[in-house]
Amino acid sequence: AAALRRQTRRGEANAAPAPSFSQLPEHQEMERMRRAGALIGVENPFFRLHDGHAAAQTRIDGRDLLNFASYDYCGLNADPRVAEAAKAAIDRYGTSPSGSRLVAGCRPVHDALEAALARHYGAAAALTFVSGHSTNVSTIGHLMGEGDLILYDTLCHNSIQIGMKLSGAARRAFAHNDMAALEALLIENRAQYRHALIVTEGLFSMDGDAPPLGALIALKERFGCWLMVDEAHALGCVGPGGVGSFALEGIDRGKVDIWMGTLSKTLAATGGYIAGTQALIDVLRGHASGFVYSVALAPALAAAALCALDLLAVEPGRATRLQENAALFLTAAREAGLDTGNAGPFGIVPVMVGDTLLAAKLSERLLQRGVNVMPVMFPAVPMRAARLRFFLSALHSEADIRQAVALTADALEQLRREGFGTALPPG
């Protein structure tokens, strides 16, 4: 005991004070960006406070704005029927399930939602989690492990990437939607690993394009891999009635091993889900840490999502209107000389600007002119690939879309004339 006391005293004497969090590299980078922004008069575009429903319109600082920054693809976020379903669930079950599903968290509404999701994907079963992010982290993190291989589209979402890191599996990215690159990686690597998983998204969240699902299925069958498709944005946006990416090429849904999605976009709630075989769902129910060791999805959110999923099916015109809006946006943007990258007529349209501060300034100018749209910049997208990302809604009118495009083209041209986005700082 005396020796231990002496050791502890020595350790205490030698210990340097813990560094301030402001010395962390990410804090210093944020400070650098803040100073650069202040120098040329760009406000931080993030964490704006919204009031009311965030739908095709929103209210910020007491001003009503056209909104292109919320995921209300099919206009269900402010639907009174969805709100009523959530309120009825609160009256019946309270606000919190007060336990993990294993312990005391199960309510009939969870089973009903999971059955409806399973039906949607033609799958045997489904499982819900408290967030879409934790769904990917827990599912990929648990299913894959050392000695396994994950091949993923380079544009896959952060939650997929964190799940891959957690898993300890070997990871190889293939160039966006590049099937020749994926095939080459499979030829080179597949034989050295036990299980292999290919991961893609049904609608890419930054670029607004869809994957070649038929080609992915052919490769996964040829090389004996599982295929996981993240439908977070695809549900509500892609295919007739917004059913999802499988409708684009008439894919047999059973060919995708793991359907993943989120409740936080088209389904007007928060939470995430997996749909697949009964064995897959059994494994996740018993072992996925974000399910086993986390509270159940709040019953009100499960009820809202279930109602929204029903409405999506019985009111397919919502997805049609969204897709018409997206097609109109793309045409108008091209006519106005804006670069929309590879975006398809779904629900997400980027307007590429390149420079980070130009993207932030453009978002600020548009806010002043009555349009709320967010910039996306490194590290969410590659360096010099900053953009504004427009989330469209079935509730936007033709005039809303035309106005947003015209204002964007005008503000971008004006900012470029002022010297933003060039090598030299303006002024």
Residue 361 annotated as catalytic:
no
Q: Which is nearer to ligand PMP, 131 or 328 (CB)?
A: 131
Q: Determine which one of 110, 220, 265, 361 is catalytic.
A: 265
Query: Which one of residues 82, 182, 232, 353 is an interface residue with ligand PMP (CB under 6 A)?
Result: 232
Give dist(CA 99, CA 104) in Å, integer: 5
Q: Where are the alpha helices (DSSP H) in 169-211?
A: 179-189
Q: How many residues bind ligand PMP (CB under 6 A)?
A: 14
From 70, 138, 205, 393, the catalytic residue? 205
Of 37 and 132, nearer to ligand PMP (C-beta) is: 132
Q: Tell me the sheet residues that pair with 134.
A: none
Determine the Cα–Cα distance for residues 278 and 281; give it in Å rounded to an integer. Answer: 5
- 87 is annotated as an active-site residue: no
Classify strands 258-262 and 272-276 as parallel, antiparallel or unpaired. Answer: antiparallel
345 is a site residue for ligand PMP (CB under 6 A) = no
| Contact between 205 and ligand PMP per CB under 6 A | yes
131 binds ligand PMP (CB under 6 A): yes
294 carries an active-site annotation: no
Q: Is 72 in the site for ligand PMP (CB under 6 A)?
A: no
Scan residues 255-284 and list those touching ligand PMP (CB under 6 A).
Answer: 262, 264, 272
Q: Specify whether the CB–CB gap between 271 and 128 falls below 8 A.
A: yes
Can you point out the beta strands (E) in 161-257? 170-174, 196-201, 226-230
Residue 387 near residue 381, CB atoms below 8 Å: yes
- Per CB under 6 A, the list member of 58, 138, 139, 159 interacting with ligand PMP is 159
How deeply is 316 buried, as exposed, middle or buried, from its count of CB atoms within 10 A (0-12, 13-18, 19+)? middle
For residues 404 and 419, the answer to whether their CB atoms sit within 8 Å is no
Establish if 136 lies at the interface with ligand PMP (CB under 6 A). Answer: yes
132 interacts with ligand PMP by CB under 6 A: yes
In single-letter form, the type of residue at position 220 comes to: K
Residue 389 makes contact with ligand PMP by CB under 6 A: no
Query: Site residues (CB under 6 A) for ligand PMP?
Result: 131-133, 136, 157, 159, 201, 205, 230, 232-233, 262, 264, 272
Q: Which residues are catalytic?
A: 205, 233, 265
